[in-house]
Chains A and B, each alone.
Chain A
Amino acid sequence: MGTEIAHAIADGILGGGVYALMAAGLTLVFGVLDIINVAQGILVVLGAYLSYVLSVHLHIDLLVGLLITVPAMFVIGVVIYWLFIRTLRGAERTSMTLLACFAVALIIEGVLYREFGSNYVSLNAWYVNQSVHIFGFYLADIYLIGFGLAVAAVVVLYLILYRTTFGRAVRATMQNQTAARLIGIDVNRVAALTFGIGVAVTAIGGMVYGSITSFTPNSGYDLISRLLAIVILAGMGSIGGALAAAVFMTTIEALVDIWQPDWSIVVFYLAMVIVLTFRPQGLFGRHAVRAQ
């Protein structure tokens, strides 16, 4: 039992890294743009399918393939923003963009069904089914690689946000869009690039997710429900909070999974509901409750 628990905690923390990365993309887009990208789940699946096509048809290693899929997902993100979201304005913008993202998600899901059917597939490479022996128990290599990738990507994200001029512009836009515009920041460009970055992380997320579990085009719903629970729990717009909440939630889920595999995901939502009951802005939320 003790080793089972230790193993669950290790799996939870390592698996949480990937969710943290995907959630960071989601919450970054929300923080800068006030857009809830509900297409994030299906975009992760799209990223996984891109890796799948590269590895099965072109025999490109999954990790090398990221060099192609990350820029590809970035471009897809910018295009989605430019075509469907940029023009939405007005008081109900957040709700409208959410619906637009949902519509985009449906189209992507439909296209994936059309191209790949509804059979489960999974990603494979020599390191996917190996494991290492650390501290008395076995850890799957892919969990370690995924965690490493997630940490690296979050560090890159951090460097972009806090050590570059572009990052400064992003943070300025996050704090006050009008003021950012006034001091000469091209808010539209910042928005498009931020959306692109938020989507680009799904390429990494998709590759790791696809290696850990098998997936179908329908997997997007499972992903987005977890991601939304994470970012709401953390407080929408808080990147650090999203990282902490992701690791926390997946660890709890892995622990509950030992006793109740069918119900473990409910823990996600229960935690969310409990937190919202007492702290409607989320654990690390910065917005006032009623401000609209």
Chain B
Amino acid sequence: MTKQTVAQGSGLLLLLAVAAVFPLVFTNPTATNFAVVTLVFVAVASAWNIFSGFSGYLSLGHAVFYGTGAYFLTVAANDWKLSAGAIFWLVPLAGLAAAVIAVPLGLVALRVRRHTFVVITIAFFFIAQLSASNLSVTGGSSGMLVPQPNWAGATFNNPFYYVALVIAVATIVLAWLVRRSRFGLQLRAIRDDEDRAAGLGVRAMPVKLAALVLSAFITGMAGAVWVYFTGEAVPQFVFDPLFDLAIVLMAFFGGLGTVAGPVLGALVLQPAQLWLNLEETNSYSSEILFGALFLVVILFLPRGVLPTGAEYLSKAQAWIRRRRAAPGETAREPAAGADDAITPTSAPGGAA
């Protein structure tokens, strides 16, 4: 057990070290560009998962929070005429703005049944998109520019990279903490059976709302970093229905409700999508492929790559062990068997 923890811990540290030196090794702007956007999506997919993956309430409206953060930074940076570095200090404020928006949305949307909730989040998304295109403060449908820093081209991406990395790592740590906390347990109780959870004393509404606000806070920060990086806030890109589907797909792909799943999903799918956009200039190819991949995941890997993979792995291990044990003695079997038995039963959210 302790050996495993040490191994896992050192593995994670190694990953973190690799992430920290990545822009120093791969100095190609295209590579760092991909990395920044991917890290933003790691944060967003994990944040989405903290609310939707843990509580079972699927949100297709997280673009509202992403866009709120993005527009907050854009408008504030333009109005307050901040210096390039100082604009980064707007990022947590942008997160706060998204969190504030999340409170009334949550109070309305979390009153209904789960599938109605999905639909209401879609409706909120459309309201937000429409408002962004029609309000004067957001620059209407033509959008607004974010003042860009005049940093050297070769290392231009690096500050964005490290800010995104900090947010992404913090989100993953937060997801891990939430998952093993009382709060996380309450969320999962709500996911499994809300009525019963309420009967056992979980105050469902505050718990769900807290998770949504937390999730919105991170999503808003990620949106702010992203818009500063891309330099432009245009309604149809800031509020993009594909954005919502992309993060849902990332979480489903890796494993809904696990800590590592959405991270893996973002690390695999986001670079793939960026690469595809470079290769194919038309948008419809990626749209068709995206939809097809989504269908494949839902139909064949509904619980995600990690849980399903872990299940297959433990099955294979058990099979190998049986093969080994079959001719000889069976004395070593019980300890290993007991260890394996845990994996399938705790599978839905078990493979953290």
Contacts and interface: CB of A to CB of B under 8 A. Distances in A.
Q: Do A and B come from one complex?
A: yes
B291 A292 contact: no
Interface stretch (A101-109, A147-155, A248-256): A101-109
A11 B128 CA distance: 27
B116 A221 contact: no
Interface string A70-113: 00000000000000100110101011101110111111011101
B123 A228 contact: yes
A46 interface: no
Given A95-B115, A98-B118, A225 B126 contact: yes
A180 interface: no
Contacts of A84: 295, 299
Interface stretch (B12-20, B264-272, B280-288): B280-288
A90 B111 CA distance: 23
B122 interface: yes
Contact of A110 (B120, B241, B287): B287
A106 B115 contact: no
A94 B115 contact: yes
B31 interface: no
A277 B108 contact: yes
B290 interface: yes
A225 B123 contact: yes
A262 B291 CA distance: 31
B305 interface: no
Nearest to B295: A103
Given A113-B283, A225-B123, A107 B108 contact: no
Contacts of A57: none
The residue among A95, A105, A113, A277 with the most chain B CB atoms within 10 A of its own CB is A95
A34 to B, nearest CB: 7
A166 interface: no
A273 B122 CA distance: 12
A94 B114 contact: yes
Interface in B266-311: 282-285, 287-288, 290-292, 294-295, 298-299, 302
A263 interface: yes
Interface in A258-284: 262-263, 265-266, 269, 272-273, 276-277, 280-281
Contacts of A225: 122-123, 126
Given A113-B284, A280-B112, A292-B114, A99 B248 contact: yes
Contacts of A21: none
B64 interface: no
A88 B299 contact: yes
B295 A100 contact: yes
B134 interface: yes
A2 to B, nearest CB: 28
B294 A103 contact: yes
Nearest to A87: B299
The residue among A38, A110, A289 with the most chain B CB atoms within 10 A of its own CB is A110
Contacts of B60: 102
Contacts of B295: 84, 100, 103-104, 107
Contacts of A107: 287-288, 291-292, 295
A99 B113 contact: no
Nearest to A235: B116
Interface residues of A, number: 48
B116 A266 contact: no
Interface in B242-263: 242, 245, 248, 252
A215 B223 CA distance: 31
Contacts of B285: 110, 114
B120 A36 contact: no
B115 A36 contact: yes
Given A113-B284, A228-B122, A276-B120, A96 B111 contact: no
Given A84-B299, A99-B248, A265-B130, A92 B56 contact: yes
Given A36-B119, A38-B122, A228-B122, A99 B108 contact: no
Contacts of A88: 298-299, 302
A292 B116 contact: no
29 contacts: A36-B115, A38-B119, A95-B58, A96-B298, A99-B245, A100-B295, A103-B292, A103-B294, A103-B298, A105-B291, A106-B294, A107-B287, A107-B295, A221-B241, A225-B126, A228-B119, A228-B122, A228-B123, A229-B123, A232-B120, A262-B134, A265-B130, A272-B120, A273-B108, A276-B108, A276-B111, A276-B112, A280-B116, A290-B113
Interface of A: 34, 36, 38, 84, 87-88, 90, 92, 94-96, 98-100, 102-107, 109-111, 113-114, 221, 224-225, 228-229, 232, 236, 262-263, 265-266, 269, 272-273, 276-277, 280-281, 287, 289-292
Ranked nearest first, the 5 interchain pairs of A and B with the lowest CB-CB distance are A106-B291, A110-B287, A110-B288, A103-B294, A107-B291
Given A221-B126, A269-B123, 15 more contacts: A84-B299, A94-B115, A95-B58, A95-B118, A100-B298, A103-B290, A263-B130, A269-B127, A272-B123, A280-B111, A280-B116, A290-B194, A291-B113, A292-B113, A292-B114
Interface of B: 56, 58, 60, 108, 111-116, 118-120, 122-124, 126-127, 130-131, 134, 193-195, 241-242, 245, 248, 252, 282-285, 287-288, 290-292, 294-295, 298-299, 302
